[in-house]
């Protein structure tokens, strides 16, 4: 994936290789230690409370098929990721649309043509992959998530918050680099 065409996915440690992968791995791995993950528990705990309230509200509706487990898991994951990575509340358990959830789902909802492109290019040798320049993420999705991160950083720096989350780790890493 070309970093110029796909600035987010092109820097993803899960698709990098060689020295570049080693560099990114050495930057990201310290953020995923047991101590750091345990430190995010106080951030996740209020999300569990929101989920409990959501479940209480939904079960009172007496829906014919009950509460959809996939929907519940998606809401919970959205809220936890938003809190632990961006330091923001997504509102995934609120009524109405949840922008960050919709955008996240849209990334994974690839068209048939995009799926074929990914399969074909993954089978090509590295030197031929550069011929096909197509981003994994649509431009509007890239813009949305880049802007979201910029806003989260701006809020974090203006409030001088020192939460034990991934954003705090990234800000500390940025100071070191």
How confident is the model at residue 147, as a pLDDT? 94
Q: Per-residue pLDDT tens for 12-31?
A: 888 788 898 899 888 888 88
| 8-state DSSP, 11 | G
* Res 1: pLDDT: 63
- The model's pTM: 0.78
Res 50: pLDDT:
97
Residue ranges and CATH numbers for the domains of the chain are 9-176 (1.10.630.10)
- Flag residues of the chain having pLDDT under 50: none
pLDDT at site 54: 95
Q: How far is residue 170's CA from residue 123's CA, in Å, rounded to a whole number?
A: 33
Structure tokens at 51: 């989920």
At residue 163, what are phi and psi to the nearest 5 degrees? -70, 150
CA-closest candidate to residue 136, choices 150, 123, 117:
117
Q: How far is it, in rounded angstroms, from Cα 32 to Cα 130?
A: 32
Structure tokens at 7: 């600035």
CA angle at 143 for the pair 90 and 165, rounded to the nearest 5°: 45
pLDDT single digits (tens) 38-64: 988 999 999 999 999 999 999 988 888
């Amino acid at each position: 994936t070309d970093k110029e065409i796909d600035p987010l996915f092109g820097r993803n440690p899960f698709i990098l290789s060689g020295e570049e992968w080693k560099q990114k791995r050495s930057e990201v791995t310290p953020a995923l230690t047991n101590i750091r993950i345990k430190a995010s528990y106080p951030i996740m705990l209020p999300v569990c409370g929101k989920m409990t309230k959501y479940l209480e509200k939904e079960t009172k509706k007496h829906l014919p098929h009950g509460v959809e487990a996939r929907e519940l898991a998606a809401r919970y994951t959205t809220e936890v990721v938003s809190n632990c990575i961006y330091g923001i509340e997504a509102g995934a358990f609120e009524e109405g649309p949840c922008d960050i959830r919709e955008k996240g789902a849209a990334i994974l909802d690839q068209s048939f043509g995009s799926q074929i492109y990914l399969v074909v290019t993954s089978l090509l040798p590295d030197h031929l992959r550069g011929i096909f320049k197509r981003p994994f993420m649509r431009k509007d999705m890239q813009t949305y998530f880049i802007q979201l991160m910029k806003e989260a950083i701006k809020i974090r720096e203006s409030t001088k918050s020192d939460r034990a989350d991934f954003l705090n780790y990234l800000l500390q890493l940025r100071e070191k680099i």
